[in-house]
Amino acid sequence: MTTPAPLPEAPDAPGTPDAPEAAAPAEVPAAPPAPAANPFAAPDGQPGNEAPGNEAPGNGVPGQAPPYPGAVPYWPHSYPMPPAPRNGLGVSAMVLGIVGTVMALTYVLFWVAWLPALVGLVLGVVAMGQVRKGVATNRGTALAGVVLGVSGLLLSAAGGGFFAWQVHEARQEVKATENAARERIEAQEKQRQADLEKRRAEIEEQRKRTEAEQERKAAEERSRHLAFGQSYTTPDGLRFTVEKPGPFSPDEFAQGIAKGDKVVEVVITVTNTTGEQRTMQFNYLKLTDGVGGRAETVVDGSGRHQPLGRSVPAGQTMTGREAFAVPPGATDKVEVSFDYDLTNRRTIYWTGSL
């Protein structure tokens, strides 16, 4: 719209002479005309183009028409800026998931890897919820945090299970080693006890054998202590017998007789009871008086002295004769001994009174 042109003034009435006009009252200044509506002004309630950068095209003065005809009015619209996306949780979830997964793959830190993995999983789930609500835009990052969190938890659990299995195996190995050591010690103890019992048995058997041998020797020794007239048979089958010594009358050429001595004759017979010839290693006959004094052997020229030979034919009997001078007062008890085996110290004894 354009401003209407002012109306023309009325002409003066004809025939009226110019005469001075009466004093007219002072004129009141007219109010300025109201500005016409600006077609480029912003609607009510909307921000205008007064803001820097939003000036109307043309002369850049708000509310004025462009300087050239046919220009299109420009009404700028100012919209509120959308809030920035909250992608921090998704990034944190992915970082914690990576940390938890890497820690779970190490042999030293797997036992604490579940904590960042679990936190990353929770943050990833929360971030996925924000993505669904449109608050966040990093769905892939949040999903990666969830996946890595689950992976970290699984790897941590697997590491814990593997560590527990290794601990169990180590304990089993230690227990097996302890059991083996205990069994070995028990076996050694049993073997030691068995050896000890065996040694005790051997010692006991040796003691019994020794006692039996001593008893046998004692019995044999007792068996070789005889009275006059009794016989003793050796293990090889020779039987010896000594009768009670009788008086012996030496001739005038006898030697070994002191004054007052009593001369007696000792007769010994040896019989071979086997079917083979037997040989004596020694044949020494002597007489001892009752006080331990040895009687002297009497030798004369009568020819009645008859020493024993060493070999006895099978089934034959051999006789020996010896004369001894017994001191006076020693005739109550005398002992005649015969040594036939010096190697084994075997001697036969006959005792009695004269």
Per domain, the residue ranges of the chain are: 86-223, 227-352
Right CATH number for 227-352 from 3.90.1640.10, 3.30.70.270, 3.30.450.20, 2.60.40.1240? 2.60.40.1240
Strand 317-326 to 278-279 pairing: unpaired
Q: pLDDT tens digits, residue range 207-252?
A: 888 888 888 878 877 888 889 889 988 888 889 999 888 888 887 7
For residues 349 and 256, which has the higher predicted lDDT (pLDDT)? Answer: 349
Q: What is the mean pLDDT of residues 100-120?
A: 88
* Contact yes or no for 139/128 (Cβ under 8 A): yes
Residue 296 to residue 184: CA distance in whole angstroms = 74
Token pair 């401003």 in the structure block, residue: 3
- The pairing of strands 346-352 and 225-227 is parallel
Decide: pTM greater than 0.75: no
The first and second tokens of residue 82, run together, are: 């959308």
Query: CB atoms < 10 A from the CB of 34, how many?
Result: 6
Residue 146: the pLDDT is: 94
Q: Check pLDDT > 50 for residue 55.
A: no
pLDDT score recorded for residue 287: 84
Are residues 264 and 248 in contact, defined by beta-carbon separation less than 8 angstroms?
yes
